[in-house]
Amino acid sequence: MATDDPKLEVDLDPSGGLLVHLRGVWVKDQVIPDIRDITNAFQKNHDVQRLSFDSEEIARWDSVLLTFLVKLCRVCNEKGIECDTRGLPDGVLKLIHLAFAVAEAKQIPHESRNRTALYRIGERLLANRANAQKQLYFLGETCLSLSRFFTGRARYRSSDIWLFIEECGPRALPIVTLISVLVGLILAFVGSVQLTMFGAQIYIANLVGLGMAREMGALMTAVIMAGRTGAAFAAQLGSMKVNEEIDALKTMGISPVDFLVLPRIIALVLMMPLLCLYADFMGILGGMLVGVGLLDLSLTEYYTQTEAALAMRDFNVGLFKSAVYGILVAIAGCMRGMDSGRSSAAVGEAATNAVVTGIIWIIVSDAILTVIYNAFGV
């Protein structure tokens, strides 16, 4: 007779209340009776004042029974019906008491949910202003810190600088090699299609040499470093913030900008021009592969043509740009990291933002520098 399914029966008890019989196994994966079976009974008997339970035949129960009863108690409270829980299993009773022990915290206002579109736009704009202010503030801090560095008053560990120099110099060589050889190849290929039409294959050397030295070497290393090192800086500083390591520095009177940001900026600014120069030569090598391999130029021809096409000035143009990019990438990474929230999701966001900010700054400054170079005829 006793089945496992959860069952519900509503009786009128002799004293005029309702008696609810609960039977069977009330666990997840079972089809639980609808609470309306009971509320309907309320509607039929308007004069019901009391609700009591009989749970003798409950075999097993878990949260499902609890949610059912909590819901029922709420309905009873609304209707002013007395809910006599004495007939319930001991454990259930205790848990229901626990669930109702602390009042719901609905009175605590919770901001920024269900706002109008206009409100959100305004909020976003204000946040942008605050964000710009923060960026300026950080920039100012960095400048102060740099001035402390040059006057020898900055507190940092010089071993950190060497560590970061290794991290963003030698360790970046493999990827810089790969990318710049390929960029040199691509430049040569694209150029060769046009130049062979005029029989001017030899000018591939000029195209690749000038392209790499003045523009592509610096730009490609900067983009690589933004993705590689800028993101790493942001993630490092962000997780230090989560761990309260930055707070610990502050409370010891050590400026986190001096201690954490400065070594990173200096390392990257020192390494970036070197990487750029390396990338220039790797790009020229890539162009040479195409020139000698596909266009039947001899090695000496290509070499002499490159030498004739390039002046020291062209390299300087690229090297200066790359130093600027180095500062920008390091600042973007550190700024986003120091600005990160205190959760794991926020650290990821900081790393993403660091790369995006870094690349935007690189391209914008590239445009500005190119215009300036042009105006001065460099």
Using CB under 8 A as the criterion, which residues of the chain lie in contact with other proteins when the complex forms? 27-29, 32, 60-64, 66-67, 70-71, 89-95, 98-106, 108, 110, 113, 341-346
Taking the complex as a whole, how short is the minimal distance between the CB of residue 81 and other proteins, in angstroms?
20
Nearer to other proteins, 47 or 104 (CB): 104
Nearer to other proteins, 46 or 86 (CB): 86
- Token digits of residue 223: 């983009």
Taking the complex as a whole, how short is the minimal distance between the CB of residue 332 and other proteins, in angstroms?
24
Taking the complex as a whole, how short is the minimal distance between the CB of residue 343 and other proteins, in angstroms?
4
Taking the complex as a whole, how short is the minimal distance between the CB of residue 374 and other proteins, in angstroms?
47
Taking the complex as a whole, how short is the minimal distance between the CB of residue 105 and other proteins, in angstroms?
4
Nearer to other proteins, 91 or 140 (CB): 91
Q: Are strands 18-26 and 82-84 parallel, antiparallel or unpaired?
A: unpaired
- Token digits of residue 328: 């920008």
Nearer to other proteins, 67 or 133 (CB): 67
Residues 53, 109: Cα–Cα separation, whole Å = 37
Amino acid (one-letter) located at 211? G
CA distances from 43 to 46, 74, 205, 331 (A): 6, 16, 93, 69
Amino acid (one-letter) located at 132? A
Nearer to other proteins, 88 or 257 (CB): 88
Helices (H), the chain: 36-44, 63-79, 90-101, 117-150, 158-168, 173-197, 204-210, 217-225, 231-242, 245-251, 256, 262-294, 299-309, 312-338, 344-376
